């Protein structure tokens, strides 16, 4: 018999906030050493109260807008109770009754064509701590407790591992390009729910949930193994399928039962009376909407229309810092394709000489656009522009002021250029004679002398043409 694969995902994403969700400890990227970022609140000291981080709500709403969700105007938190050493309060603050976003939709392009995946909901919650096991000892690191997460729950709409990978890849670039999350290793974790059913059947089969997967490669392998296990169970009655939670072992490539699937009642959910319901009024929603970055697809399309290449688009979209710099530079009136070249070729090249990458770029859109505009207006040539860019990147100089100080902005009228050329021709009789005698190379020496005297001012092509003209 032929079987159809049915998959639903629960994806946890650590948000890139500066502080945790309910206290002022540093957020996800702050800690250096274990238990660096811990306070009485996030380590579960009795009587400490949570204070909501407004930014978390804004990022969750932004994610919801990007995933075409309805945004709840009234949203509340609940306590999910369970006991585990990495959970100091013995409950996790999460959302059950009134999640922040519901009913979204993501479009995927795969080999099966265009597919829509429905988003059931997005909710906000706090992360748990981390257990570190060393020999017979176990340590608890609370740096991660109360780091803000959003959990994105899909309907069981995926029909292949390829669709799952396409979806997660799309979420990643969306969240990176909008500053919601860097989605680096471990910051995006997935629970994969799988069942199979005979092709053509409307009913869902028994599902199992593979917990806490973070690599796309492992997710693909786990889906392959688990779906085969389900099909074998149905086809050959090798075992009875039960709804349960499983873990994937990367070494053997197999999944193993962890525990029977817990139900909602197991967690004794109840409303968290310490956090007031959050009301998102029109004004706040409008504010979040206006700050919302354009969705990745639209953004890529915009870049494509501006003539930026696919490879460059990918580099830009996967890097929030760079995409923001480019967008801001364009917003300041610079040409899109041109600005992309300045960033991806010039800035990257200058950094590379120091063994650095674009992630370490410290240039503002104001600085960059000032340089591009001076070049575009013909005030300086591109070589001078690049020289200024180097000084901006390496020493943080003000581009306009630096240009003046270095005398790069001299608007050289033709008569000044001609005077310099005449001077150089007069001062280099030997080279001139060589050139006239047929030595093409001599021209380069004379031209070089002109450029030196002009200190990079003027357009090289025009200068060369004028020089050749005069030598004739």
Contact residues for ligand ADP (CB under 6 A)?
Answer: 6-10, 153-156, 193-195, 204, 207
List all residues 6 or more positions away from 103 whose beta carbon is below 8 Å from its beta carbon.
69, 70, 118, 119, 120, 121
Q: Are 449 and 428 in contact (CB under 8 A)?
A: yes
Q: What is the Cα–Cα distance from 4 to 12, expressed in whole angstroms? A: 26
The residue written with tokens 């099966």 in the block is 112
CB of 8 to ligand ADP, least distance (A): 2
Binding status of residue 25 toward Zn ion by CB under 5 A: yes
Q: What is the Cα–Cα distance from 296 to 177, expressed in whole angstroms? A: 7
Q: What is the Cα–Cα distance from 225 to 227, expressed in whole angstroms? A: 6
Residue 204: name its binding partner from ligand ADP, Zn ion, none (Cβ under 5 to 8 Å by kind): ligand ADP
List all residues 6 or more positions away from 375 whose beta carbon is below 8 Å from its beta carbon.
381, 382, 384, 385
- Specify the residue, 42 or 431, whose C-beta has the smaller distance to Zn ion: 42
- Specify the residue, 201 or 401, whose C-beta has the smaller distance to ligand ADP: 201
Binding status of residue 341 toward Zn ion by CB under 5 A: no
Residue 160: name its binding partner from Zn ion, ligand ADP, none (Cβ under 5 to 8 Å by kind): none
- Specify the residue, 42 or 372, whose C-beta has the smaller distance to Zn ion: 42
Residue 154: name its binding partner from Zn ion, ligand ADP, none (Cβ under 5 to 8 Å by kind): ligand ADP
- Residues that bind Zn ion (rule: CB under 5 A) add up to a total of 5
Q: Determine whether 464 is exposed, middle or buried from the number of CB atoms within 10 Å of its CB (0-12, 13-18, 19+).
A: middle
- Specify the residue, 42 or 161, whose C-beta has the smaller distance to ligand ADP: 161
- Specify the residue, 8 or 104, whose C-beta has the smaller distance to ligand ADP: 8
CB of 176 to Zn ion, least distance (A): 26
The residue whose Cβ lies closest to ligand ADP is 8
- Specify the residue, 142 or 248, whose C-beta has the smaller distance to ligand ADP: 248
Structure tokens at 110: 């795969």
Nearest Cα to Cα of residue 235 among 227, 247, 244: 227
Backbone φ and ψ for 269, nearest 5 degrees, come out as -60, 140
List all residues 6 or more positions away from 173 whose beta carbon is below 8 Å from its beta carbon.
296, 317, 318
Q: What is the Cα–Cα distance from 313 to 78, expressed in whole angstroms? A: 41
Strand partners, 271: 78
- Specify the residue, 258 or 294, whose C-beta has the smaller distance to ligand ADP: 258
Q: What is the Cα–Cα distance from 66 to 104, expressed in whole angstroms? A: 9
DSSP, collapsed to helix, strand or coil, labels residue 466 as helix
Residue 193: name its binding partner from Zn ion, ligand ADP, none (Cβ under 5 to 8 Å by kind): ligand ADP
- Specify the residue, 123 or 221, whose C-beta has the smaller distance to ligand ADP: 123
CB of 104 to ligand ADP, least distance (A): 13
CB of 357 to Zn ion, least distance (A): 32
Region binding Zn ion by CB under 5 A among candidate stretches 23-31, 202-210, 333-341, 376-384: 23-31
CB of 163 to ligand ADP, least distance (A): 13
Residue 42: name its binding partner from Zn ion, ligand ADP, none (Cβ under 5 to 8 Å by kind): Zn ion
CB of 144 to Zn ion, least distance (A): 11
Could you give the count of Cα atoms lying within 13 Å of 440 in the half-sphere of its Cβ? 0
Residues 32-51: x/- map of binding to Zn ion (CB under 5 A)? -------x-xx---------
CB of 180 to ligand ADP, least distance (A): 20
Q: How far is CA 369 from the centre of its chain?
A: 23
- Specify the residue, 41 or 363, whose C-beta has the smaller distance to Zn ion: 41
Binding site for Zn ion (CB under 5 A): 23, 25, 39, 41-42
């Amino acid at each position: 018999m032929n079987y159809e694969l049915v998959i639903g995902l629960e994806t946890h994403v650590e948000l890139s906030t500066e502080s945790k969700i309910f206290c002022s400890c540093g957020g996800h990227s702050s800690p250096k050493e274990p238990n660096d970022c811990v306070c009485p609140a996030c380590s579960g000291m009795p009587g400490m109260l949570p204070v909501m981080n407004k930014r978390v709500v804004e990022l969750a709403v932004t994610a919801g807008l990007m995933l075409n969700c309805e945004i709840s105007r009234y949203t509340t938190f609940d306590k999910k109770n369970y006991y585990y050493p990495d959970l100091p309060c013995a409950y996790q603050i999460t959302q059950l009754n009134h999640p922040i976003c519901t009913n979204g939709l993501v479009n995927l392009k795969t080999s099966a064509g265009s597919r829509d995946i429905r988003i059931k909901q997005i909710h906000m919650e706090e992360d748990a701590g981390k257990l570190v096991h060393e020999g017979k000892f176990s340590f608890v690191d609370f740096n991660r407790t109360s780091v803000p997460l959003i959990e994105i729950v899909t309907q069981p709409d995926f029909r292949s591992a390829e669709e799952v990978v396409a979806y997660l890849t799309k979420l990643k670039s969306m969240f990176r390009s909008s500053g919601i999350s860097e989605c680096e290793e471990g910051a995006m974790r997935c629970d994969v729910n799988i069942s199979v059913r005979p092709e053509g059947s409307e009913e869902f089969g028994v599902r199992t949930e593979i917990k806490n997967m973070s690599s796309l490669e492992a997710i693909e392998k786990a889906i392959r193994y688990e779906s085969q296990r389900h099909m074998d169970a149905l086809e050959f009655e090798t075992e009875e399928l039960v709804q349960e939670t499983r873990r994937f072992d990367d070494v053997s490539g197999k999944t193993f039962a962890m525990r029977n699937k817990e139900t909602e009642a197991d967690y004794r959910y109840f409303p968290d009376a310490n956090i007031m319901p959050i009301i998102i009024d029109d004004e706040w929603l409008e504010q979040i909407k206006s700050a919302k970055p354009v969705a990745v697809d639209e953004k890529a399309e915009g870049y494509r229309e501006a003539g930026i290449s696919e490879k460059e688009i990918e580099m830009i979209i996967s890097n929030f810092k760079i995409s923001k710099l480019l967008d801001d530079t364009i917003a300041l009136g610079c040409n899109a394709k041109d600005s992309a070249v300045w960033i991806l070729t010039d800035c990257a090249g200058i950094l590379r000489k120091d063994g650095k990458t674009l992630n370490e770029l410290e240039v503002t859109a104001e600085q960059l656009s000032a340089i591009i505009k001076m070049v575009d207006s013909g005030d300086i040539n591109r070589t001078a522009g690049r020289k200024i860019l180097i000084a901006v990147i390496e020493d943080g100089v003000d581009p306009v002021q630096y240009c003046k100080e270095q005398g790069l902005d001299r608007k050289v009228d033709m008569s000044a250029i001609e005077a310099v050329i005449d001077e150089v021709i007069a001062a280099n009789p030997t080279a001139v004679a060589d050139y006239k005698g047929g030595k093409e190379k001599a021209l380069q020496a004379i031209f070089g002398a002109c450029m030196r005297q002009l200190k990079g001012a003027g357009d090289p092509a025009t200068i060369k043409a004028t020089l050749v003209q005069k030598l004739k």
